Structure 1
């Protein structure tokens, strides 16, 4: 059977689930149809006119990008607009386009891990841990004979899903006791008398964001006028996902030597690699964050690292960050260069699952800056 866009998307999303992306992000299929056949895939950080031309030239059926083309979207597909022109070109050549962005940043085989490994870091941990999803546990007490209906209703509302299984629940039988008061309309029992009823204690996990919907479904399916239940907020157990990574070098090196090592490990750009802080400082423990990272300068300092490697550092946050006693040196690299090491990782993941698929990692430099000029003024 031939491979389709849906097949590749399903594979990518198994590693980088869209639900783990930031709320503002726009991940997923940008253009194309799920049933389009795919024989060749092009992997890129950015979608640019040059990347689209590369896909056309090499006969790619699908472009998998890190940055969403429509993150800042357009209101029409106008050929006079650069984004509109690229969309028209891709559709004209039946090239589908898919983006995995912040969901790939936080993953254990994602963008930040690829950067850390490219720089020779080991013993990795999260700079800013991000559980994939926060979970609740619903515990409800249901009279026997009605348990299946309550479980089914909760499952339809989003509870009871564990991995590739749904309707997952635990039940144990006990005795529920209550006394209906004046004004009650009990499903079972008599006003003013204590009633004892065989009941099932039913437990299901659910995403915290589905709490209101699941409770409403449970109430609607439950026969009691006032169901007995409670919600437990479960402690996070996911330790594999997070923004940025912290790791260690095999042996300490000076900051200047490490900055050169970073430059040698990443694709070359016009802006190169910049160092803020003393060049002779010993570096052993390092934090990295692929992409714009000055919002995590405090986290890097709190992590007790010797160096922080990231991109798009602004003047004021950077100068303030290095002024702290014991602050890490800062190593600023081009945004595109920091994220490029993930592309071969992604290509290998897809290739391992679909061995016959032609794969190409774009080596086009899509960094915004094309020339650099050093002046003569003192």
Structure 2
């Protein structure tokens, strides 16, 4: 039976809290990390009806996209809406975790899930996330000490590539050196040329780990004066994380595309609002889950035929349309972000699908969009 800490580690591995915007409040909100997790419920909003659903189902963890406490509070009495929500969860022994802007940008995150739900292919971020700069360390070590050195480098954080660690490349060769007066060689004799069977070990590492990795290498290396070099690697420009997504759909019209958006998303009172010529050809689509008018200027510089997002305000939308740029499709905030829930649920189910695991998962279908009807 996995613990809450186990599940949190998985979610944080996919949606690292460090990638959240500085103003955001993400991560574990409530719960005992040592508690077992048998049932996990996923929802967009941490509101009372969802908390009551979690309690009635016997959920041990509620994972929401939106945070419960986005702003600092001094208390959460059950006389307030947020206090009632937390009280319902606490009374049922249900933990709460929020994955907000850290889930927006990630692979398998909100914008990517929305893009896939709308049938987009060849996805790229609209604003690529800056990649963590990388270095490559090359070090030469006696063959008999190579395994120990590789292990020390891995512990220090070198050799991590995506979902892999302990990654390295090794080639055998000969090392030659002559210890001088005052040296205390591990191998060889002062004033005599020594030939040693050595291994060239190469590992990549995040640049911010350079000092700690080099220290670990020097501590683990048997030589007094190891031969090594550190090279800064260039950005490959292949970002798969970042804000929003842009991709392609089979050529259609704006009216047909908007109808497809409405069919792909959960129904809401708002429905789908469109600005643009219904007959306009649509091939390239930009989108952003949640409120996306902050990307309007960026989208205007792309080759997108249409931009799909939520919460567009009157004046920014009007001025955008006047540019004769992409058309606009405005959908309900809740509906756009709900598309992520089945994705993260399936991901967690696969990760916990080992023999002996008995974790149940469920996606809440309660419509927490604030607008209830339209006249």
TM-score bin (small chain) = 0.7 to 0.9
Q: Deviations for 1:249-298, whole angstroms, at most 9, x for unmatched residues?
A: 33411x24433432333223344332233343222221121122223224
Match of 1:376 in 2: none
Distance 1:164 1:228 in 2: 24
Q: Name the counterpart of 2:60.
A: 61
Aligned-partner SS, 1:338: helix
- Structure 2 distance, partners of 1:365, 1:66, is 14
What is the SS of the residue equivalent to 2:287?
Answer: strand
Call closer, same or farther: CA 1:317–1:256 in 2, change over 3 Å: same
Q: Is the 8 A contact 1:131 1:236 kept in 2?
A: no
**Please, what TM-score do these two structures have when normalized by structure 1?**
0.77
Is residue 131–residue 237 contact of structure 1 (8 Å, CA) maintained in 2?
no
Alpha-carbon distance change, 148 to 116 in structure 1, aligned in 2, over 3 angstroms: closer
Equivalent residues in 2 for 1:125-164, closer than 5 Å: 125-130=124-129, 133-141=132-140, 151-162=150-161, 163-164=163-164
Which one of the candidate residues 318, 341, 344 is aligned to 1:343?
341
Distance 1:302 1:194, change over 3 A: farther
Question: Which whole-Å deviations, capped at 9, do the CAs of 1:4-54 have from their partners, x for residues lacking one?
Answer: 43454455456x242673353544332212343333322101111221122
Report the Cα offset of residue 331 of structure 1: 1.3
| Structure 2 Cα separation of the partners of residues 284 and 363 of structure 1 | 31
Cα distance in 2 for residues equivalent to 1:147 and 1:51: 54
* Structure 1: gaps of 5 or more residues: 374-378
Gaps of 5+ in 2: 186-190
* Alignment TM-score, normalising by the size of structure 2: 0.78
What's 2:188 paired with? none
8 A contact 2:17–2:26 mirrored in 1: no
Alignment of 1:260-299 (within 5 A): 260-299=259-298
Match of 2:327 in 1: 329
Please list, as runs of the form range in 1=range in 2, the aligned pairs for 1:73-222 lying within 5 A after superposition.
73-130=72-129, 133-141=132-140, 151-162=150-161, 163-166=163-166, 168=168, 170=170, 172-175=172-175, 201-218=200-217
Q: Deviations over 1:82-136 (max 9, x none)?
A: 4344333322211012233334333443322322233233444443344775432
Distance 1:319 1:59, change over 3 A: same
Following superposition, the deviation at residue 339 of structure 1 comes to: 0.7
Find the residue that maps to 1:268 and give its secondary structure: coil
SS at match of 2:329: strand
Indicate the residue corresponding to 2:363 in structure 1.
361
- 1:252 aligns with 252
Mapped contact 2:104–2:289 kept (Cα < 8 A): yes
> Is the contact made by 1:244 and 1:289 (CA closer than 8 Å) also made in structure 2?
yes
Q: Which moved more, 1:362-371 or 1:298-307?
A: 362-371
Structure 1 residues 197 and 82: CA distance shift in structure 2, 3 A:
farther
Displacement after TM superposition at 1:230 (Å): 2.0
1:346 Cα shift? Answer: 2.8
| 2:41 counterpart residue number | 42
Change in Cα spacing, 1:348 to 1:157, as seen in structure 2 (3 Å) is: closer
Change (3 A) 1:212 1:316: farther
CA contact (8 A) 1:21 1:101 kept: no
Length, aligned pairs only: 365
